[in-house]
Structure 1
Amino acid sequence: MAIASARPTVSPAARILVKEVNWLGDLVMSLPALWAVRQTFPQAHLGVLVREELASFFSLLPWVDCVLSYRLRSRSRWLGSRWELVRNIQAGTWDVAVLFPRSFESALWMYLAKVPVRIGVIADARRWLLTHPIRVDMKHPGRHQSLGWLELVQKALGCGPPSESIPVVVPRTALPDNVAKEFPAGHPFLVFAPGAAYGPAKQWPVESWRRLARSVVSRGLRCVFVGTASERDLCDAIAQDLGRSAHVVAGATTLPELAQLLVHSRGYVGNDSGATHLAGLLGVPTVALFGSTNPVRTAPLGHRCQVLYDPPDCSPCLARTCRFGDNHCLRRISPEQVLEALAKLGSL
């Protein structure tokens, strides 16, 4: 199959489908590139293809015209769920597909759906599936991950850097019901996200979280613990001695509700995780705790973010579990340092 070498000709009113990445943190870091596509093609019909569990996030982005969600099945429905997805893509009669993931499978879907223009980085032996394969070093250790996606859309579509901040619309009318019923109206609180979907190597120690939470409560603030359902036990273990000064909603909020909770808070503390990137995007005072990962690559975007990182020689290892068994890189960050960062951000 012939591969085009020149930049594609894209109509101002084209139907452009962007295959989004698969994790909340990565998705947030890809938004500057998605917003650059929107600004370059303001009359286009801009859609995103995204995993079902992330689809509700796009209710916060009114400039995205269409959200096509999917859930891939395993075992008996492995093939059927993928053919259903291909048919759904094909039914959208998209003119252009832009692939943010580097996976072979995402390119195969667009190829089988016969999208005329298929753009993505050269990776995973998929070059022949793309009409416009683009060479981008997505793993460059010295630059932020968001810049790789921006380079992709610049080279392929002529998009410049976004000329203004990314519009995000979060209702500020009230707290989510499951928090409002626990907290008196107007009582200040901080949001804590002690988990990390990638693995325990990213997690600050439980005892450090407990010390931080006790200090926050002693200052007259309350604590809301967020995360996935699988992180609820972790949150409960940290909050167990705080009584009514703490509330655990891990696994009990949608992404829009999490955003609503964040914008009502005085500030946020979390590991290198999706919730941390969301807090940074929303302009919430954010303290991000880094250890096994490199903040040069994946620090949260936003002007009110404070990154704490005190790397030993083994960091960044990018491992899911610490090979030494003690998360030494994160133990080097003290609760007192976090409190100082929160104070500098005006959260205390």
Structure 2
Amino acid sequence: MSAPLVTPPRRIAVLRALHLGDLLLAVPALRALRAGFPGAEITLIGLPWAEAFARRFDRYLDRFVPFEGYPGIAEVQIDPARTARFVAAQRAAGYDLVIQLHGSGRTSNACALALGGRVTAGYYDGARPAGLDIGAPYPDDCSEIERNLRLARLLGCPDLGPALEFPLSAADRAEAAALLDRLPPGGPLVGIHPGARYPARRWPPERFAAAGDLLAERFGARVVLTGSTEEVATVQQVARAMRAAPLVLAGRTSLGGLAALIARLDFFISNDTGPAHIADALGTPSVTLFGPADPIRWAPLDRERHPVVRVPVACSPCAHRECPIDHRCLHRITPEMVAAAAMRLLGAGAIACDD
């Protein structure tokens, strides 16, 4: 690694054009960047949805630019003219430091370098690309949180710890209250989030239903089903399969409202997806189901409060978005396994049994 940061950068761009969980796991690194460069203007270059994320984390981010696509980066369909305008605009912004926080760099370093920063930093996979001023081989032996923090440390930023965050506003809390306060008092509030972006990460809906029923029978749990607008059909499958009567809130919450709702839950059950990281950030006890994803990389660091349920199989971890065989990694997880993980926390008194 060379040491080109002779003077503190005034304008920093962070390229991370990814989804909710990916950005939440980058928050400790963003916190470190702000502490390391308190006077800099820090811009997040992300997917369009992340503009709201940047506003929520304005303690660390000053500006947001929507990522307009670049060859090799699959998150946005390529339109050559649009990409050319995007690159030209970012070059004109005059960044002192561009940080490639988008992964191994195999597909994203070219984009970061094209933005014309005075200094470019990031990981690389294989040969170090020309022009990458601050870099290191992509580490594959640690959590995503630690991977992002290591890059911040390469830039000389202090490590302020791996804790996740999700700031809540009064409007977020009011939204959650309006949805939950109609519930009668009773046993613990248990949230179930049966969706996930990719089919390979989805546990079958009828098994979520069975796990919810087990907790309702054992602890009188009041079950709340959450999900995005796109996940309504999946959530309805869970509701129809349950003997207990869940509160179905899929498609009825904003991101902030969902987070405030999770903050009020006594327990949260989820596939490996963004809301699982919200539960971690807000301290809501949770269990996350892992199939194809690598728990070393993606699972919560606190396995006492946030245990994972996983059945090791030879083909997992894998990168498939849809399982090409029999989905054995998730299908071998039983409702009893998931309910038992929740019951261990309930039985230990970690969860209150009234609202």
TM-score (norm 2): 0.81
State how far apart, in whole Å, the 1-side matches of 2:29 and 2:215 are: 37
Deviation of residue 63 (structure 1)? 1.6
Structure 2 SS opposite 1:46: strand
Amino-acid identity (%): 27
Q: Does 1:343 align with 2:339?
A: no
Structure 2 SS opposite 1:135: strand
Q: Does 1:39 align with 2:40?
A: no
Deviation of residue 171 (structure 1)? 2.8
CA gap of 1:109–1:121, structure 2 versus 1, over 3 A, is same
State how far apart, in whole Å, the 2-side matches of 1:92 and 1:247 are: 48
Deviation of residue 109 (structure 1)? 4.5
| Cα deviations by residue, 1:278-323 (Å, 9 ceiling, x for unpaired) | 2212211110111222211211245731111221333323322333
| Cα deviations by residue, 1:66-106 (Å, 9 ceiling, x for unpaired) | 2314153778x813332343344345432211111145665
CA gap of 1:126–1:195, structure 2 versus 1, over 3 A, is farther
1:180 match: 178
2:116 aligned partner, one-letter code? K
1:239 aligned partner, one-letter code? A
Structure 1 SS opposite 2:137: coil
Structure 1 SS opposite 2:49: helix
Checking the alignment, whether the CA contact within 8 Å between 2:9 and 2:96 is kept in structure 1 is no
State how far apart, in whole Å, the 2-side matches of 1:172 and 1:306 are: 30
1:293 match: 293
2:258 match: 258
User: Which one is further off, 55-64 or 275-284?
Assistant: 55-64
State how far apart, in whole Å, the 2-side matches of 1:137 and 1:13 are: 24
Checking the alignment, whether the CA contact within 8 Å between 1:47 and 1:64 is kept in structure 2 is no
Deviation of residue 122 (structure 1)? 2.0
Checking the alignment, whether the CA contact within 8 Å between 2:126 and 2:137 is kept in structure 1 is no
- The 5-angstrom pairing of residues 242-321 of structure 1 reads 245-302=245-302, 304-321=305-322
Q: Does 1:118 align with 2:120?
A: yes
Deviation of residue 34 (structure 1)? 1.9
State how far apart, in whole Å, the 1-side matches of 2:106 and 2:330 are: 35
CA gap of 1:265–1:81, structure 2 versus 1, over 3 A, is farther
Checking the alignment, whether the CA contact within 8 Å between 1:56 and 1:254 is kept in structure 2 is no
How many residues get paired?
337
State how far apart, in whole Å, the 1-side matches of 2:176 and 2:25 are: 29
Deviation of residue 131 (structure 1)? 3.9
State how far apart, in whole Å, the 2-side matches of 1:133 and 1:88 are: 23
1:95 match: 96
1:19 match: 15
1:161 match: 159
1:221 aligned partner, one-letter code? A
Checking the alignment, whether the CA contact within 8 Å between 1:110 and 1:118 is kept in structure 2 is yes
RMSD, matched Cα: 3.1
2:81 match: 80
Structure 1 SS opposite 2:308: strand
TM-score (norm 1): 0.83
State how far apart, in whole Å, the 1-side matches of 2:153 and 2:273 are: 27
2:214 match: 215
Deviation of residue 174 (structure 1)? 6.3
State how far apart, in whole Å, the 2-side matches of 1:181 and 1:274 are: 21
Checking the alignment, whether the CA contact within 8 Å between 1:272 and 1:290 is kept in structure 2 is yes
Deviation of residue 242 (structure 1)? 5.0
1:63 aligned partner, one-letter code? R
Deviation of residue 176 (structure 1)? 5.6
User: Which one is further off, 262-271 or 36-45?
Assistant: 36-45
2:216 aligned partner, one-letter code? V
Deviation of residue 24 (structure 1)? 1.8
1:127 match: 129
Structure 2 SS opposite 1:288: strand
2:45 aligned partner, one-letter code? L
Structure 2: 5+ residue runs without aligned partners? Answer: 70-75
| Cα deviations by residue, 1:200-237 (Å, 9 ceiling, x for unpaired) | 22221222111112233344333232233332211110
